[in-house]
Amino acid sequence: MSQSDQSVNAYQLRIVLRRTSPHLWRRVLVGSDSTLRQLHQVVQALFGWTDSHPHRFVLRGRSLGASSTASAAILPAAEVRLSEFKLLLKERFFYDYRFHDADVPIWRHEIRFEKALAADPERVPCCIGGVGNPPLEQSGSPQELSTLAELFTPPFVLHQLTELIDRGSSNAELATQLRYLRPWLTADRFQSETGQPATAGQPGVAQ
């Protein structure tokens, strides 16, 4: 079942960060005329990445729209629009980010096409659902993220901060540690603002 209805101007996608437990995922509306480059920017914003590593899309067995450093065998398709693929209902493809080498991604996102629909062009892209805060920048793999999450429980974080205060740490030391520890206190509290419009190319996401 391809989506060719002329009234369709948006796609609903569910993006799951694989090898995370429980799964981190987002549901997002994007324009059907979005390019792979624009979808790349959306995924970066949804998962808190800094766009500082190679990336690629893998669709129907082909690597598409990747940064030039990801692999030597990449097709230059960053400006191809999603509508040109004529995606099938429930069809999935992948977005890979950061690599052990040219072919083994550290972070693989599974993107599933859920439906096509009409939407206010000024309100896409926008995040309409999700679970889990983005992986912290200091975690270098799904396994490391899981290990850190088991260690940095809220009681452990509060204990660490209490010890700093009891030792009479300076305000600067407290601020530094708080910046590092605070994300673990809200690691399972992701919320999305349904219908929140995008600004400056970023999907509407509240954390």
Distance between CA atoms of residues 61 and 11, nearest Å: 21
Query: Which pLDDT does position 34 carry in this prediction?
Result: 95
Query: Which pLDDT does position 74 carry in this prediction?
Result: 47
Q: Is the peptide bond before 76 cis (omega within 30 degrees of 0)?
A: no
Query: Which pLDDT does position 197 carry in this prediction?
Result: 38
CB distance 33 to 9 below 8 Å: yes
Rounded alpha-carbon distances, angstroms, from residue 182 to 16, 46, 176, 200, 207? 24, 19, 10, 27, 13
Describe the chain by its helix, strand, coil percentages, rounded to 5: 25, 30, 45
Read off the pLDDT of residues 152-191 as tens digits, 9 standing for 90 and up. Answer: 666 766 777 788 788 888 888 877 776 666 655 655 555 5
Coil, strand or helix at 169: coil
Strand order in the sheet with 55-59: 62-64, 55-59, 92-99, 105-117, 10-17, 24-31, 126-131
Selection from 139, 178, 173 nearest residue 157 by Cα? 178
Q: Supply the pTM of this predicted model.
A: 0.69
Rounded alpha-carbon distances, angstroms, from residue 157 to 110, 160, 164? 32, 5, 11
Query: Which pLDDT does position 3 carry in this prediction?
Result: 45
Q: Which of 18-27, 28-37, 54-63 has the lowest mean pLDDT?
A: 18-27
For 34, other C-beta atoms within 10 Å of its C-beta total 20
Tokens of 163: 């010890």
Query: Which pLDDT does position 167 carry in this prediction?
Result: 83
Read off the pLDDT of residues 24-49 as tens digits, 9 standing for 90 and up. Answer: 899 999 999 999 999 999 999 998 88
Average pLDDT score over the chain: 77
| Residues 52, 58, 64, 69, CA torsion sign | positive
Query: Which pLDDT does position 188 carry in this prediction?
Result: 55
